[in-house]
Amino acid sequence: MAGLRLIVGLGNPGAEYLRTRHNAGFWFVDALASGHGERFAFDGKLHGETCRVRIGGEPVWLLKPSTFMNKSGIAIVSALRYYKIEPEQCLIAHDDLDLPPGTVRLKFDGGHGGQNGLRDTMEHLGHGRFHRLRVGIGHPGHRDQVTPWVLGRPSAKDEDAILDGIGRALDVLPLAVEGQFEKAMLRLHTVENG
């Protein structure tokens, strides 16, 4: 399978959403850009902020949609078309209610699991054949509490766990960029359970 050429972090723009659980995808790409000494800049034609990094010698575009979560597909499809990148060469990092804070999982294809950014992206693409980095944020325990939970800031303990998970995902990212997804998944899972 081809390696990665576009990495998207899902989140909501604006200072009030910056440290919310729903912005865990933004946290991931921000950490990635920062680790490479790069900064995001707004690009109107791509409906988001972009920058480029080199991972294992390969150029990879990073994208943070500025469309709000439920319209993420607009920015993602625009970037795929503009850079002439196939969806299979794209990794979308997003918050995941079904995983506890600190747990991160790589996955290819599948449904959206109720995640609105993934849902909109799949509606625009007509399929789900792209890579995902599921960043666990935990679940509030009841469906009625989901919206305030995802739009709220995690406790210091949970935030540390989420950032630790993001760090482990960054460690295996070079393997995914090379197209060695199974190896990246295995290493991520092994380190987590080690």
Residues annotated catalytic, as ranges: 22
E strand spans, the chain: 6-9, 41-43, 48-55, 58-65, 90-96, 104-108, 131-136
Cα(16)–Cα(13) distance, integer angstroms? 8
Q: Please name the amino acid found at residue 100.
A: P
Report whether 4 contacts 176 (CB < 8 A): yes
Q: Cα 136–140–143 angle (5° rounding)?
A: 110
Q: Please name the amino acid found at residue 121.
A: T
Tokens encoding 172: 């295996």
Q: What sign for the dihedral angle of Cα 12, 30, 169, 127?
A: positive
Cα(159)–Cα(163) distance, integer angstroms? 6
